[in-house]
Amino acid sequence: MFRAILFTQWKWARLPLLLGIVAAFGLPLVVVQPLPSLFAEDAGASLAIEFMASFGPMFPLLATLLGLILAVSAWAADHAGHHVYALSLPLPRWQLVLYRLGSGLTLLALPLLALWFGALLATSIIDLPAGVRAYPSLLGLRFALATLVAFALFFSISAGTTRTAGVVLGTIVGMLLAQWALALVDSDVNLLGTLFDVLFVWPGPLDIFSGRWMLIDV
């Protein structure tokens, strides 16, 4: 049964997943392309570090997109078919959820390995000056953790009903509107800033997405 569910999820997500694999493998290679010319300049190391920092947000963004794609595709067909297929299977709901979760994690391994291999290749084709080091495995591990967190978050939302997704989306929109209304009356209350600190600053659950994402650093 697991193999059948894995195959169906591969069919549903194969095109965006293949694009994600290419993007994960190619992103480290694209990032390091300008580094040799930057290292050749005066203060080249600092210029290279600044350049890497500017591209850092691309990694958590890609991790979020990969988690979102695999999580949504796992349940999109059930929502479209009003869960007739899921109810017709000879297994309980909890077991189906575990199979879907396991299938999604299995498919996620492909882009995670692609980024790690891309990072290893990217750092092997450039010569680093003294005082600058490459962290391909550390970046790959952090990317994997961020992708798994994003997948778990979106999977739990997608596994529910469309009403559940609507409540989550409505809550986000409501906070945006509330912050906009507070800005109109010149209030110093910052709901979004407080929410960001709670979620993205340690010990927040999404702290893995914040901070510096550096393939090459001092």
Residue 190 lies in a domain: no
Count structural domains, the chain.
1
Domain span at 75 = 2-162+206-217
Residue 200 lies in a domain: no
Average pLDDT value over all residues in the chain: 81
Residue 57 lies in a domain: yes
Q: How much is the pLDDT for 42?
A: 59
Q: Are 53 and 212 in contact (CB under 8 A)?
A: yes
Cα 178 from Cα 171, distance rounded (Å): 10
Q: What does the pLDDT look like over 80-139, one tens digit per residue?
A: 555 555 555 667 776 878 888 999 999 999 999 999 999 999 999 888 777 788 889 999
Q: What percent of the chain has pLDDT over 70?
A: 78
Residue closest to 61 by CA, chosen among 92, 97, 20, 96: 20
Q: What does the pLDDT look like over 176-216, one tens digit per residue?
A: 677 667 666 666 767 667 777 777 777 777 888 888 888 88
Q: How much is the pLDDT for 90?
A: 65
Residue closest to 71 by CA, chosen among 98, 112, 105: 105
What are the backbone angles phi and psi of residue 170, rounded to the nearest 5°?
Answer: -65, -35
- Helix (H, G, I), strand (E, B), or coil: what is residue 61? helix
Residue 179 lies in a domain: no
Q: Are 48 and 128 in contact (CB under 8 A)?
A: no
Token pair, residue 125, equals: 């084709």
Token pair, residue 3, equals: 């193999």
Residue 106 lies in a domain: yes
Residue 124 lies in a domain: yes
Average pLDDT over residues 18-47: 83
Residue 182 lies in a domain: no
Residue 131 lies in a domain: yes
Cα 92 from Cα 85, distance rounded (Å): 13
Q: How much is the pLDDT for 113?
A: 97
Q: How much is the pLDDT for 148?
A: 94
Between 174 and 124, residue with greater pLDDT = 124
Token pair, residue 14, equals: 């194969």
pTM of this prediction?
A: 0.82
